[in-house]
Amino acid sequence: TDLAHIRNFSIVAHIDHGKSTLADRLIQYTGAVSEREMKEQLLDAMDIERERGITIKANTVRLEYRAKDGETYVLNLIDTPGHVDFAYEVSRSMRAVEGSLLVVDATQGVEAQTLANVYQAIEADHEIVPVLNKIDLPAADPDRVREQIEDVIGIDASDAIEISAKTGQGIEDVLEAIVHRLPAPRGDRDAPLKAMLVDSWYDPYLGVVVMIRVMDGIIRKGDRILMMQTGAKYTVDKLAVLRPKMTDVAELGPGEIGVLTASIKQVRDTRVGDTITHEKRPCAAPLPGFKPAQPVVFCGLFPVDSNDFEALRDAIEKLALNDASFTYEMESSAALGFGFRCGFLGLLHLEVVRDRLEREFDIELITTAPSVVYHVHMKDGTVRELHNPADMPDPTHIDHIEEPRIKATILVPDEYLGDVLKLCQDRRGIQLDLTYAGNRAMVVYDLPLNEVVFDFYDRLKSVTKGYASFDYQLTGYRADNLVKMQILVNGEPVDALSVMVHRDRAEARGRAMVEKLKELIPRHMFKIPIQAAIGGKVIARETIAALRKDVTAKCYGGDVTRKKKLLEKQKAGKKKMRQFGKVEIPQSAFINALKMD
């Protein structure tokens, strides 16, 4: 296809503002898929994605549209992940296209992820077409939202298109805007091949599939290619476009987006953002801005039933085939036995992986407290990366500890502002900015990531009744007074409950944890002390009183079925418990003990 007839774009939106619905409509309108096939939402392929309503893997589709000017255009839509955990993937896919549709729900207005994503689009030099969605709803207020887009984002919204992705109203206007308002890609057919690796995934039939955007030159089936960052060389076995069904093509030229396979063994061998060129005639320099994805949140995953360890290993290896950004290594804990220490891009990524392990592979898991990566500066001048509080070196050899900080942007209706400020303050936040747009406030905070990884988002949602939106980016490391706090149950330290805390917050945190545990651990035949300690010093303590009565004593011996039922119930309850010394701790305690209310 000649460059003048290609348009490449992505859709940026806050979660639930209608990105997937609009994408489906565009596919349907251009006739790439029949009505019947539309029943299922096409772009969100995985179960969990649909359930959670978030797009995890970037997908793309090639559409053909006959515009009102009589010409037929190829429109490549790249579906970008909307969540902050996948910010790097978003920024790469943005660099693969020239324009964005900015979708804003006309009943809701601009939200934190709208901002984060649109800034990425602006940074990638995109032409941006604002689209106001859901105008079929009575609560839609397109004029107010138009004004808000101009005030908050600072782009012209006078030409914003009003649509309903649900009814199909305005879809043709969107297609015309893509053709006439977005620029055509540029590139040189005769230059050496330069293509960006946009995404990759594991397909059970095809192996690793790599999505590429060609910048210059031409790639053909059978070509020997070189990945410039990894240095790996392959032969292209298959070249195709997604319509959205995979359709083979002979070649891809400048401006085009498609997929290739090349007998690549694992997704790990492909790096999003890498530059693909010809082995024989490489391009002069790789595309700028490549960086490997870095896990920022770590936690331990242990099977509830230690017999499931092998099954867990298999499941993790299978998942890793498809997700290069998640890391794992074997770990053993005195209390939990064998498991894995896993690294994730963020909390949501952690939850998605844990859910998939539990549901697709049917393994019950104990998740230890999520921890960020600390930089421990030793007195001998070396620096250690600490992924697990259990590995904390002897404090007498430590000079200081640094923790990761984030810049968080929160948008919230006025009436909840006070609660949001208090929450951020309580989490050691430093206010950077506070502005208003209409009746909503935008606050920017510098916060320790450590205070956010656990339940910050849940708390934010609850204090604002769901009205706040939140987004963040990592800004760097800073030293603070950080210590490791241990929890001792019946005198024994339980590794999986160790956390890193700020010294000033340790007492409050320790007290909250032991109080929670007192409720979460059932009574035993003996007294159980629960303590929080820093080094050898106990800072909080609770005691679970001993249980004397037999649980079945109440049944008077007469009713045998009732007695049996009770015992069975008790047995089932036991399955979800772990033995720590003489004490049994229920699985749920590990997560719940860490929640702060």
| Residues at the interface with ligand GTP (CB under 6 A) | 13, 15-21, 53-55, 82, 133-134, 136-137, 164-166
CB of 23 to ligand GTP, least distance (A): 7
CA atoms within 13 A on the CB side of 327: 12
Beta-carbon contacts of 432 under 8 Å, excluding residues fewer than 6 positions away, are 407, 444, 445, 446
CB of 567 to ligand GTP, least distance (A): 45
Q: With the C-alpha atoms ordered 319, 320, 326, 331, is the resulting torsion angle positive or negative?
A: positive
Residue with tokens 């409509």: 25
Q: Report the alpha-carbon distance of residue 106 to residue 375 in Å, rounded.
A: 44
Beta-carbon contacts of 62 under 8 Å, excluding residues fewer than 6 positions away, are 74, 75, 76, 77, 241, 242, 243, 257, 258
| Number of neighbours of residue 142 by Cβ within 10 angstroms | 19
Cβ closest to ligand GTP, residue 24 vs residue 308: 24
- DSSP per-residue letters across 478-542: EEE-EEEEEEEETTEE-GGG-EEEEGGGHHHHHHHHHHHHHHHSPP-SS-EEEEEEETTEEEEEE
Cβ closest to ligand GTP, residue 19 vs residue 405: 19
CB of 49 to ligand GTP, least distance (A): 8
Q: Report the alpha-carbon distance of residue 175 to residue 162 in Å, rounded.
A: 13
Cβ closest to ligand GTP, residue 46 vs residue 538: 46
Q: Please return the burial class of 468, using the count of CB atoms within 10 Å of its CB with bins 0-12, 13-18 and 19+.
A: buried
CB of 5 to ligand GTP, least distance (A): 28
CB of 162 to ligand GTP, least distance (A): 10
CB of 144 to ligand GTP, least distance (A): 17
Q: Please return the burial class of 511, using the count of CB atoms within 10 Å of its CB with bins 0-12, 13-18 and 19+.
A: middle
CB of 11 to ligand GTP, least distance (A): 8
Cβ closest to ligand GTP, residue 56 vs residue 226: 56
The 161-162 sheet, strands edge to edge? 59-66, 72-79, 6-13, 99-105, 127-133, 161-162
Cβ closest to ligand GTP, residue 18 vs residue 300: 18
Cβ closest to ligand GTP, residue 18 vs residue 254: 18
3-class secondary-structure state, position 340: strand
124 backbone dihedrals φ, ψ, rounded to 5°: -85, 10
Q: Report the alpha-carbon distance of residue 206 to residue 209 in Å, rounded.
A: 7
CB of 20 to ligand GTP, least distance (A): 3
3-class secondary-structure state, position 133: strand
Cβ closest to ligand GTP, residue 49 vs residue 403: 49
Positions at the binding site for GTP: 16-21, 133-136
CB of 25 to ligand GTP, least distance (A): 9
* 225 close to 236: Cβ distance less than 8 angstroms: yes
CB of 56 to ligand GTP, least distance (A): 10
* 44 close to 61: Cβ distance less than 8 angstroms: no
Beta-carbon contacts of 312 under 8 Å, excluding residues fewer than 6 positions away, are 301, 303, 339, 340, 357, 361, 363, 365
Cβ closest to ligand GTP, residue 17 vs residue 62: 17
Pairing of strands 398-413, 469-480: antiparallel
CA–centroid distance for 58 within its chain: 12
Cβ closest to ligand GTP, residue 79 vs residue 403: 79
Cβ closest to ligand GTP, residue 42 vs residue 412: 42
